[in-house]
Amino acid sequence: MMENAETFRPSIMVDMKKNRIRIHKHTLRVLGDPDFVMLIVNPEEHTLGIKRSTLDDKRAHRVHKSTVKKDCELYSKSLMSAFRELCPDWDKRKCYRIEGEIVAGENMAVFSMMDSSCLVIE
């Protein structure tokens, strides 16, 4: 499943206005199309990790794929609040795209919040 990890750049979109994180379908695919993922925030390094998980992990989130794009959308006001603390320059009405890196052998993608780009969405 991780054969293209060297060339593939996983990506997510953080929508501050809708308290939503969209994990793009290609990111899910390189993680092995998991049914559950765990989000790991490292405030010291300003990173977000998305790791393949299982039903028996109480911290796991079920992957509900959008029927249109096959992306996964997770909603969390508390996570967006944590992001606002980590990234005080982020506008609470805007969306941010972040590309990350695959951590080979860990079934995980890591995203640096400092490497985000603001999206213009109408």
Closest CA to 16 of 92, 102, 97: 92
pTM across the whole model: 0.86
Going from the C-alpha of 113 to that of each of 27, 38, 59, 65, 82, the distances in angstroms are: 17, 17, 21, 23, 11
Q: Confidence class of residue 2 from pLDDT cuts 50, 70 and 90? A: very low
**Structure confidence by residue, pLDDT tens digits, 20-73:** 999 999 999 999 999 999 999 999 999 999 999 999 999 999 998 766 678 999
